[in-house]
Amino acid sequence: MADKYKHDFFNITFPHEYVAVVEINRPEKLNAFKEVQWLTLRTIFQTLSHDPSVRAILLTAAGPRAFCSGLDVEAAAAGTLSSRETDGARQANYMRRHIFDFQSCITAIEQCEKPVIVALHGICFGLAIDISLACDIRLASSDARFSVKEVDIGLAADIGTLTRLPHANVPMSWVKDVCLTAREFHSEEALKVGFVSGVYEGKEGVVEAGLEKAKLLATKSPVAVVGTKELLNYSKEHGVADGLNYTAVWNAAYTQTADMKDAILAGLKKKKVTFAKL
Amino acid sequence: MADKYKHDFFNITFPHEYVAVVEINRPEKLNAFKEVQWLTLRTIFQTLSHDPSVRAILLTAAGPRAFCSGLDVEAAAAGTLSSRETDGARQANYMRRHIFDFQSCITAIEQCEKPVIVALHGICFGLAIDISLACDIRLASSDARFSVKEVDIGLAADIGTLTRLPHANVPMSWVKDVCLTAREFHSEEALKVGFVSGVYEGKEGVVEAGLEKAKLLATKSPVAVVGTKELLNYSKEHGVADGLNYTAVWNAAYTQTADMKDAILAGLKKKKVTFAKL
Amino acid sequence: MADKYKHDFFNITFPHEYVAVVEINRPEKLNAFKEVQWLTLRTIFQTLSHDPSVRAILLTAAGPRAFCSGLDVEAAAAGTLSSRETDGARQANYMRRHIFDFQSCITAIEQCEKPVIVALHGICFGLAIDISLACDIRLASSDARFSVKEVDIGLAADIGTLTRLPHANVPMSWVKDVCLTAREFHSEEALKVGFVSGVYEGKEGVVEAGLEKAKLLATKSPVAVVGTKELLNYSKEHGVADGLNYTAVWNAAYTQTADMKDAILAGLKKKKVTFAKL
Amino acid sequence: MADKYKHDFFNITFPHEYVAVVEINRPEKLNAFKEVQWLTLRTIFQTLSHDPSVRAILLTAAGPRAFCSGLDVEAAAAGTLSSRETDGARQANYMRRHIFDFQSCITAIEQCEKPVIVALHGICFGLAIDISLACDIRLASSDARFSVKEVDIGLAADIGTLTRLPHANVPMSWVKDVCLTAREFHSEEALKVGFVSGVYEGKEGVVEAGLEKAKLLATKSPVAVVGTKELLNYSKEHGVADGLNYTAVWNAAYTQTADMKDAILAGLKKKKVTFAKL
Amino acid sequence: MADKYKHDFFNITFPHEYVAVVEINRPEKLNAFKEVQWLTLRTIFQTLSHDPSVRAILLTAAGPRAFCSGLDVEAAAAGTLSSRETDGARQANYMRRHIFDFQSCITAIEQCEKPVIVALHGICFGLAIDISLACDIRLASSDARFSVKEVDIGLAADIGTLTRLPHANVPMSWVKDVCLTAREFHSEEALKVGFVSGVYEGKEGVVEAGLEKAKLLATKSPVAVVGTKELLNYSKEHGVADGLNYTAVWNAAYTQTADMKDAILAGLKKKKVTFAKL
Amino acid sequence: MADKYKHDFFNITFPHEYVAVVEINRPEKLNAFKEVQWLTLRTIFQTLSHDPSVRAILLTAAGPRAFCSGLDVEAAAAGTLSSRETDGARQANYMRRHIFDFQSCITAIEQCEKPVIVALHGICFGLAIDISLACDIRLASSDARFSVKEVDIGLAADIGTLTRLPHANVPMSWVKDVCLTAREFHSEEALKVGFVSGVYEGKEGVVEAGLEKAKLLATKSPVAVVGTKELLNYSKEHGVADGLNYTAVWNAAYTQTADMKDAILAGLKKKKVTFAKL
């Protein structure tokens, strides 16, 4: 593995051509996050975004018990949350900068050009939900337990859940229920409402399924895959006329590629095709 | 009960600390609405919104047969709909003002700072749908029957259903089906598509479930609960970057609260915590 | 049938009062589309939109095997895709114009004032998805097979799927899965996520169900039906305040109709009512 | 004058048919505002909005020295600003409600269906700018002195100036200059950048010019005038396609009026026409 | 001149390479418009948009007295406005379709890929303003007289003025003044507020200036010119982040052109360069 | 000067308390920009944004002849523009990333929390316009010469001008004129249309005026100044209702400051006040 992918608290591997696996690695703390971790997460996904050797990414977490138990509250209490200005406006500005920076680290996953599949298992609380909503495809193990936990620590969730969950096209009545009550919900319910799009047997099951999907995406034309992610993201945020117009301008450039002819031929001949790097 | 909560056609009670129950009370007419009722509904929810003794609200309706059978068409025919200007433009302006005012009464539920749970039972036709869509969490009894009835009286529904149903994150093909055909659908179907997020046995079942949920919300930090409702509503209406930014500004102020420390300690000690009024 | 409805590759019939059936008719090519077909599709729906004899439209396709297998790639290769400018910017402008024009043909279905039900059967690949998403109500046969196929030909889908699927209120995790993988999915899955709102036994089943629904819509006040489609489309694209305001202005005009009184009386007397043409 | 227009701190007169003049009347305090005044302002403009005897409104202020010197800081210090919660989040919620309510009072001018001309003279500081920006047409006396004063009291202006000035189509570089520096500017500069559209000799001059303009508007079809204000306001807030669509729906109703024929005939015959009330 | 440019009521000439002049030609009626004219206008600009021999367009009008005196009211009275449905809703739908179609004809100027300069002279009333606002650059003769005339015929202007004037970045106080009063304003005022960006001596002066500007634009790279018009139009309708993103995607394609190198060399060598057609 | 402000191509000084002056320093090349410069520009403004010792920033350029002559075309030709992929789609992706990164460097000025005044002198071509539009207040010397130069190098300007100029509230007809023709315009014209809000005698004049303004801003409450910049930027990008709401939430936090009382007292006592750092 290249040095640029060596980081504390994360293992990054490339088990198949064009497939990267990012593993959150702090199992002894149930993969809870402290500041260095979210800063590193941003660095990793910004690097993967432009790495021509990567076409699909799987995000997982180490250890059997938890994908992520949320913010490392102890570290936060000793860090950010400890430094309080006495003037309310100045404290507000301090917090605003802090939240922006934290949010932008998670948004790096959404802005990564390459599609990101997340394999959720065990405990997925608080920040785990924020992170998973910045991913493109959410898969869960049969034993996964979810909670939008923030209300229970006196806080409206501010790292993305309250913004992205209403845009995930899951029923709003359910969204408000889980966000206001902070109650746990499990894989079956998550699948039924559409929060995840697949449930698999145990952590092994979901990691394997995620890997298979990543491998599948990695066989496709990267021009088509990158365009599809971007056009879906743009369209979700804009009206239909805007979405169609943007799509036309995008493909005005991105159909000027040998991948189209190669992909069609490969389809006809049922043969594997090699696409150039992107 | 305070005098400010005494109104014809509504019973307002406070069965638990910080929990208000608003019961529509015109069972002899299947809780059909005439003008005084929607004007009163606005007053009630505007008052509840800022009442520091209220942290969660349950909306129910009296009588075994209907949550609400819709507009009281007879009263409407004798009232608003009878007064017709002969000049088309002037009649249009008259109707526009009337519809705006009617809409704004229902919107008062959505704008209420505190979360509103609605317990739907029996007949839920026309205006019942408009009202329920302004609530945060929709629960139904097993015997509930729904219909977006307006097409059958020669009218496109104009008090909120056609606006809010497409934003409830229920499938659009189904939305158009029920809005264009005015066909009845029942609890099971409502749950499957996500229009409601829970179905319970009979009216008693849903009212009890709604009350339990309201009680649960009432135990949480009101700072966290009010923020969560507002941030979800804002985010649903804006793009992701806007939603994140608004969230950061919001929490720049709303994290300056003792509730956070108190809630965390309560969580650790598994003890009940008392939050100051909001 | 009027001459204005005679077109190659389409059969247009009027089996019931106020009901039009548009059948895609190129079964020997699995109803694949070449340019003349999408241009004709636009003409047909623009004509139906203002035809006072039409109140509901069913879109079907000839032959047992496919609703539509997508773009006729062979024809495209010989046509549009063959004409390549050597200057990248000029080729981009050529493609942009071409995609716009193609998109606008499909958008004609969405802009048609009258509701459009689509009965999907057999193979529904690529362009079939684009077309179906411009329709109001999507129904499927039990044997329908769907695929957002474009990634497999090196292309981000550009005729509407990537824009309209995120607005169909089906879960985004699922949307990204099927758009990025190009995997097939079948009727049961399509129903579960809400892509279609009904599944019926075989092609006969879905066409009959679609026809029954079209007949039902055709019995309603055309003023109410046209308004309902328009207000749902507008509201999906705008925020709640905007949607309510537009609805009020719309009904300021469209409640000035005899249909309301006639519809109410018909409802009370359980009798059929005849509405004037629109 | 009807009782409904009797209020402390305001004189409301009807000097010409269909013309209302609202005069701010607290000259001994340079027309500074305390809470009762902005609450009353809302009541006045909500009443005028639907009063069929009113077609145009002129807003002026009593006394020779000032249109309005801004917020009555002394009263504010004793009132709103004195009541401080010790919990930052609770104080934030208190202030948020207070600012909303204050803003909505000023917005009542913008939402008034009838056009509002403001005649500005002498000192126009702070709140005077907020108020004038909610009016449709701004005229000034030659001696008017303006200042976006809030920065000088440690505050970002929050009653509308920072929101509406960027939408008044005056150059942004100038907007930021006057808002950030709080420097005074005078009539000539205000006219040159377009903040006001007319400057007249002394208070008498601007009041007379405003009255003449109000009288002119009052001779026009109220259907056309009300529509023109609404369509300009809507269009300013939306894109071109949206604006055109809304305009078409609006006029679908508002062209169904005898005013059009009457106005055309009156124009041809150069005769005065009497339009029905609206 | 090609046959495709032969139309009643319009003269279309090509006085210089890549420059088209469209002259409205009904001087005996002061260039008032009836339906056939606006339908033809749409055809002309749709054709010019994609014509590789055209890089800049000048819009003028025949005769010394008027650019356009507005709608041909007589023809409208005998045509569209005569056909009145007795049912208000049906009349509304009829008018809505009519206004949409009329608007879309004027919008064809805005959507034309090539920049359009308009040379305004003499009477420019009503529809003249709608038309000029769909053009890119507005120039006027010293004798031009403007009026947003519609209020004086009992109508809120509905063919674009009320939508596009607030987006022309001219002061809103002035916009509301001229739209609500229907008063005349002349060239000097039009220039001062920015409605036009140049005033020239007499009709000859403005036509010559417009032609010189068109000739200048025709010497530039058509790739750069077409992109500049599109990016300005897009950005005006969207926020800054959206505008920057769209610009980047656009230029991802449109910088793949030989024009850049050719233009730079031509600039260095002060020589004329020949760009390929677009 | 702190080391963090030592950079090639820029001089950063702090001539007065809380005032930073950033001088572009490559006069031998007329301050043309190559990549290292725009990357450095981003670093500088990101640092200034959060530096508590800075409350206002003046941007100037070294040498008598030019503020900035634009992109260093020679360097670009040898760098970015030289590296061309042969596959059109891959080249498009390369350019898209490059333009995004370049744009984001300029946007750092807009996102800097503290207000930025730019003093423009001499040649201000191409990139100079992009940069100045990201600043808050634009001042010019009497000898300044401006040009949106990009069309003359075969390019639609893509680093911000075409996006931000339509949002600077200068007349659109003029905007399109200067962007499409690439013609030079001078200070007087820039002032008349509102592109700059002040013109001063020579470079010395504008730099001194800019410094005076920066010093003035630096005496104000930083809470008020930072809030004013942010609320103006937000409001310019959103509708009025959104702007008012955001303002209320913002000030819910930022009025919790001692600055308000201190500023009011200072105003009453005409004394200088010392505000805490932000």
Closest residue on chain F to B239 (Cα) = F238
> Taking CB atoms and an 8 Å limit, are C91 and F91 in contact across chains?
no
Say if the Cβ atoms of B197 and A93 lie within 8 Å: no
pLDDT digits (tens, 9 = 90+) for E96-147: 999 999 999 999 999 999 999 999 999 999 999 999 999 999 999 999 999 9
Mean pLDDT, chain B, whole residue set: 96
Residue E269: the pLDDT is 86
What residues of chain A lie within 8 A of the CB of E249, using their CB? 246, 249-250, 253
Residue D1 has pLDDT above 70, yes or no: no
Q: Which of B99, B131, B149, B163 should we substitute to test contact with C (largest number of C Cβ atoms within 10 Å)?
A: B163
Least confident of E103-117, F79-93, F131-145: F79-93
Q: What are phi and psi of D82, to 5 degrees?
A: -80, -30
Average pLDDT over residues C108-131: 98
pLDDT level of residue D186 (50, 70, 90 thresholds) = very high
Percent of chain E with pLDDT over 70: 99
Are the Cβ atoms of E257 and C223 closer than 8 angstroms? no
- pLDDT of F78 reads 81
- The answer to whether the beta carbons of residues C123 and A213 sit under 8 Å apart is no
Reported as a single tens digit per residue, the pLDDT across C184-213 is: 999 999 999 999 999 999 999 999 999 999
Kindly tell me if the per-residue pLDDT of E239 is higher than 80: yes
Write the pLDDT tens digit of every residue in B80-129. 766 678 899 999 999 999 999 999 999 999 999 999 999 999 999 999 99
Cβ contacts (< 8 Å) between C235 and chain B: which residues? Answer: 162-164, 166-167
Query: Could E89 and C50 be called an inter-chain contact, meaning their C-beta atoms sit closer than 8 Å?
Result: no
Mean pLDDT of the residues in chain E: 96
Chains with 3+ CB–CB pairs under 8 A to C are A, B, D, E, F
| Residue C153 pLDDT exceeds 90 | yes
* Beta strand segments in B191-273, E: 198-200
Instruction: Identify the pLDDT of residue F86.
Output: 87
Q: For D247, which of E88, E163, E171 is closest by C-beta distance?
A: E163
Q: Is the pLDDT of residue D83 over 70?
A: no
Q: Is residue A232 scored above 70 in pLDDT?
A: yes
Mean residue pLDDT of chain D comes to: 96
- For chain A, the first-to-last Cα distance in angstroms comes to 20
Q: Do C87 and E50 touch (CB under 8 A)?
A: no
Q: Which residues of chain D have a CB within 8 Å of the CB of A241?
A: 241
pLDDT, position F267: 83
Please, what sign has the CA dihedral across residues D222, D224, D229, D230?
Answer: positive
In this prediction, residue C66 carries a pLDDT of 98
CB under 8 A, 24+ apart: contacts of E198-202:
E198/E139, E198/E140, E198/F177, E199/E139, E199/E140, E199/E141, E199/E142, E199/E144, E200/E139, E200/E140, E200/E141, E200/E142, E201/E141, E201/E142, E202/E121, E202/E141, E202/E142, E202/E143
Residues A99, B252: C-beta atoms closer than 8 Å: yes
B256: which chain F residues are within 8 Å (Cβ-Cβ)?
A: 253, 256
F74 pLDDT exceeds 70?
A: yes
Quick one: three-class SS letters along chain A?
A: CCHHHCECCEEEEEEECCEEEEEECCHHHCCCECHHHHHHHHHHHHHHHHCCCCCEEEEEECCCCEEECCECHHHHHHCHHHCCCCCHHHHHHHHHHHHHHHHHHHHHHHHCCCCEEEEECEEEECHHHHHHHCCCEEEEECCCEEECHHHHHCCCCCCCHHHHHHHCCCCHHHHHHHHHHCCCEEHHHHHHHCCCCEEECHHHHHHHHHHHHHHHHHCCCHHHHHHHHHHHHHHHHCCHHHHHHHHHHHHHHHCCCHHHHHHHHHHHHCCCCCCCCC
Residues A246-253, mean pLDDT to the nearest whole number: 98
Q: Name the amino acid, one letter, at A70.
A: G
**What proportion of chain A, given as a percentage, has pLDDT over 90?**
90
Band the pLDDT of F83: cuts 50, 70, 90.
Answer: low
What does the pLDDT read at residue B53? 97
Contact residues, chain B to chain E, C-beta under 8 Å: 88, 91, 241
Q: How far is CA C65 from CA A32, C30, C93, in A?
A: 53, 7, 37
Are A171 and B195 inside 8 Å of each other by CB? yes
Residue B255 pLDDT more than 70?
yes
Tell me the pLDDT band of D236, cut-offs 50, 70 and 90. Answer: very high
Contact B173 C194 (CB under 8 A): yes
CB contact under 8 Å between B260 and A153, yes or no, is yes
Q: How far apart are CA D240 and CA E104, in angstroms?
A: 11
Contact between E231 and F163 using a beta-carbon 8 Å cutoff: yes
Choose the closest CB to E241 out of B88, B91, B241. Answer: B241
Contacts of A91 in chain D (CB under 8 A): 88
**Chain C residues with CB-CB distance to D223 below 8 A:** none
- Rounded to 10°, the helix F222-237/A88-111 angle is 40
pLDDT at D79 over 80: no
pLDDT value at residue F118: 98
Residue A83 has pLDDT above 70, yes or no: no
CA distances from E252 to A249, C151, E255, F74, F102 (A): 10, 21, 6, 20, 13
**Chains in contact with chain B (at least 3 beta-carbon pairs closer than 8 A):** A, C, D, E, F
Q: Across the A/E interface, how many CB contacts are shorter than 8 Å?
A: 14
Q: What pLDDT digit, counting tens, does each position of A215-227 carry? A: 999 999 999 999 9
pLDDT digits (tens, 9 = 90+) for C230-244: 999 999 999 999 999
**CB neighbour burial string for F37-49, b if at least 16 within 10 angstroms, e if fewer:** bbebbbebbebbb
Q: What is the mean pLDDT of chain F?
A: 96
What tens digit of pLDDT does each residue of E66-93 get?
999 999 988 888 877 666 788 999 999 9
Span of B74-78, E208-212, E235-239 with lowest mean pLDDT: B74-78
The C-alpha atoms of residue D55 and residue D218 are separated, in whole angstroms, by 5
ipTM greater than 0.85: yes
- Separation between Cα atoms, residue A41 and residue E11, nearest integer Å: 64
Tell which of E73, E180, E234 to mutate to test the D interface (max D CBs under 10 Å): E180
Cβ of E156 within 8 Å of Cβ of D262? The answer is: no
CB distance C246 to B99 below 8 Å:
no
Query: What is the average per-residue pLDDT within D84-100?
Result: 94
F253 contacts on B by Cβ (under 8 Å): 249, 252-253, 256
The pLDDT of residue F1 is: 59
Rounded mean pLDDT, D159-163: 98
Pairwise pLDDT comparison (B136 vs B73), residue with the higher score: B136
Task: Name the residue among A87, A97, A259 with its Cβ closest to that of F89.
Answer: A259
Å between B151 CA and nearest CA of chain E: 15
Q: pLDDT at position A268, please?
A: 83
> Nearest to residue E193, comparing CAs of F210, F170, B227, A235?
F170
Find chains touching chain D: ≥3 CB pairs under 8 Å.
Answer: A, B, C, E, F
Task: Give the model's pLDDT for residue E83.
Answer: 66
Check residue D268 and give its pLDDT: 83
Rounded to whole angstroms, the maximal C-alpha distance in chain C is 71
Which pLDDT does position F195 carry in this prediction?
Answer: 98
Element (H, E) at B124: strand B123-125
Cβ–Cβ gap F276/A93 under 8 Å: no
Which of the other chains make 3 or more beta carbon contacts under 8 angstroms with chain F? A, B, C, D, E
**Residues of chain C above pLDDT 90, percent:** 90
> Which residue, among B131, B197, B249, B278, would best test binding to A if mutated, counting the most A CBs under 10 Å from its CB?
B197
% of chain B exceeding 70 in pLDDT: 99
Q: Pick F170's closest partner by Cβ from E169, E247, E275.
A: E169
Are A246 and E250 in contact (CB < 8 Å)?
Answer: no
Give the pLDDT mean for A84-97: 93
Backbone angles phi, psi at D222, to 5 degrees: -65, -25
d(CA D99, CA F251): 8
State the average pLDDT over residues A33-61: 98
Q: Which two tokens stand for residue E200?
A: 């020239």
- For the cut 90, the answer to whether the pLDDT of residue A81 exceeds it is no
Average pLDDT over every residue of A205-214:
98
For residue B77, what is the nearest residue in chain C, using CA coordinates?
A: C261
The arithmetic mean of pLDDT across residues B57-69, rounded, is: 98
pLDDT at residue number A76 = 87
Average pLDDT over residues B252-263: 95
Comparing CA positions, the residue from C158, C111, C114 lying closest to residue C134 is: C111
Predicted confidence band at B206 (pLDDT cuts at 50, 70, 90)? very high
What is the structure's pLDDT at A1? 59
Longest CA–CA span in chain A (Å) reads 71
Q: Give, rounded to a whole angstrom, the gap between the first and last alpha carbons of chain D.
A: 20
D177 contacts in chain F (CB < 8 Å): 137, 197-198, 213
Find the length of chain B: 278
Partner-chain contact A169 C166, CB within 8 Å: yes
Q: Which residue of E has its CA nearest to A253?
A: E253
Read off the pLDDT of residues D3-46 as tens digits, 9 standing for 90 and up: 899 999 999 999 999 999 999 999 999 999 999 999 999 999 99
Residues of B within an 8 Å Cβ radius of D: 50, 87-90, 92-93, 97, 223, 226, 253-259, 276-278
**A86 pLDDT band (50/70/90 cuts)?**
confident
